[in-house]
Structures are given as structure tokens and as C-alpha cells.
Chain A
């Protein structure tokens, strides 16, 4: 797109800005539209779990317009700020939360190379930026001039130092297996049948996936770790004093991050955009089928990743409407005393597995042979392949010759 714009005679910086703007707007729509859908889904799912119907009237039979109607209501609400609140921080906080959740999406690939900005430190970027979301929560609690909000903020601060440690250790394992921090490459490494997903790579990754799930739920403040808002204890926690659009930004940030951590789980452990069955390969798309085939394959991948991430979100909703809430000391115990050692041991286990059983228990079985990867897009008919230092590093980790020969999806990030 940039090349096209430059070809039109625009100066480079304008072309880049326009391209960035388009990507940003697209992503924003994914988050905002996704949040609307997920809020509706949550209401319907919660209702079904609880033997109710949920919204049924707004927008036809299934109430699918309910969240839009709610959004309009929130827009029309009076702009309230408590007396004694720190005005600037109070106004700023929801946007900090939302922007963090939104920015992290930039590096999340939705399908092969369908990514806002491919980064060679993608994992690091996503986890780091997602961590910023917490500042919005803490700011909101601090600036609200309400004791309940302050409690919520302090809990969030205590919680963040607890879950960030095991979360970091969990995401490091797929990075180690793939030999890169680039999310696109990590996803591409899991191409092939379901057995090549990192979840099924070895028993250690299987366990660490569940540690990741625990920490991810904690990181997005969902029950049973929703201590910062803890309705029955802290009224509404950090957003007690928020209403209207500002409150809805917190809400959107929450749902955005839910989708993000689920998407991250999908890319890191669940094969990313690679389905359980390499459909593209079985359908006969192979090297050099051309641009249109590549497009179809990407759409398939997009559907795959969206499906997996949505399943993750639904899983979180299911948990939320089933389990009671933990106490703050129990959250810290869970994260620091259980998850961290488990993650550390599993990390070491995965490392030794890589060292001694690089091909798995049955070498050659279940590992992707080079020709059934969907990474053929890099081939002669597809996009130009380019070597990158990341590839050399990764090839020493995973055995199997055809894997490297065809070249990984390592088109250098622009």
C-alpha cells in the first residue's frame, strides 16, 4: 500500500502515515466491534448458564443490538466527575487502559502476515504493552477520590506484580521452542497437523499452557481474579466513580484484552492461524498457486485464529459465571507460590526436552514435513522470501531438514 501511495506521487512520510492510519482504524474496528459482539455474547452466555434468556428484544429475536443500544445510552449519559477527583488523571485513565489494549493488537498476527506491524520482538511487545493497561486501572482508582476505588487500584497493583512473573515465564517457552520472538514465525512453526501445535509439543508445554490460561485470566481482571472491581466487596472497585463513555472505555479495554490474551494463546500454543488439519495443503494449494490462493489461505487462517481466540474468550466467560472470587492474598499465593514454580519447572522441562528429544518421542511422527506447511506462500509464486538471521537461529533448535530448506516465513519486517 505504501508503495502504491508513493507511486501516486505522495511524499514518503504522508504515505506511511496514511498506511498506518488505515491499519489503526481497521484494528480499532476489530476491538470496538469485537467488544460489542463479546458483550452481547457474554450477556447471552451468562443468561443461558443461569437459566435465563438474556436480551431478547433489542434488534430482533436474539437481542443482538443490545450492546449498541447500551453504547448509545452510555454516550448520552451525563459526564460526571466526583468532587475532589484529580481531573486530569480521572479523564486520562480510561484512555490509558484502552490505548494499551489497542496498541498491543498492532503486533498480534491474525493470519500469516496479516499483522498491523510485524515485529521481531512481537511477544515482548504484546506482553509489555498489555501490562500498561494496569496503569489505567491504577490511575482511575487513585484519581477517583473514592476509598473503594483506591482499594481497587491497590489490589490491581498487588495483582499485577503477582501474575506478570509467571505470565512472562509462560510466554518464554514457545519463544524458546520457536527460537524467535516474532509472533508470525512462532505461528508458522506450528504449521501442519494439530500435533505440531506447541500445546502438544511435549507434556511440559501442555501444562504450561494451563498456567498461561490462569495468568491470562488474572491479567485481564476476569473472575475469579476480578479483585480490582470485586463487586460484592468494593462496590465496583476502580470504576466505582466512572459512568457513561469513560466507563465504556474501561469495558472495551477489558474485552479487547480478553480477545488479545486469547489470540496470544492461540498464536503461542494453539497453532495460530493453522487449523487442526492443513486444509490448504489437502485442497491442493501448493507452492506457486498464486496470489489469489494466498488470499484464500489467509482468510482461512484468519477464520482459524478468530475462532480459537473466540473460544478462549468464551472459556473465560464460562469460568466467570461459574466460580467464586478469590481473595487478594489467595490470588498472590496462586500466582507467586504455585504458578511461578510450576512455570519455572515446566520451562526447564521443555528446555531439556528440546535438548534430548528434539524430534519428539516418535521422531518424524507428527512433526510437520516441509511440504505440508502453509508457509509455501513465501515460495516463488507467492511473496518474495527473504532470509533473516532469526531463521538460522531457529533452525538449530528444531531438527528436520525440509523444514529449513523451504524457508520459514521470515519476510523481514518491512
Chain B
């Protein structure tokens, strides 16, 4: 199980994946909005999404777990 954490504080702008989806390394799984910028959050390695812990409009802090992989 590997976690993907938020790189910075911000608001979830879009969630680009669904639970159970297979993603490849480098794929954008979420986009945050912070400091008026779009911040893409990319998967570090390939894997299957187990949980998604934040929805559109949620505030997330730096280091918060955004998604977990199986």
C-alpha cells in the first residue's frame, strides 16, 4: 500500500480518477488549486486506486494523504 500525499496546502480542484482505476506512473490523479495556480498531483508509480480521501472543494494541507493504492 502506497500513499500519495499533497505537495502543498490548497483546495481540491478536480479529482481525475475513480476507486479501482489502474493508473500509470506520472498520471495526473488530482489537480489542486493553490495560490491561484493549478497544481497537478501525479502518481509516482503505477497502481490501482484503493481509496480517494478528498473531494472537489475540500481543503487539504501539505502532507495529507490524497489517495491510497492497493
Say whether A associates with B: no
B residues adjacent to A (C-beta < 8 A)? none
By a beta-carbon cutoff of 8 Å, the part of chain A in contact with chain B is none
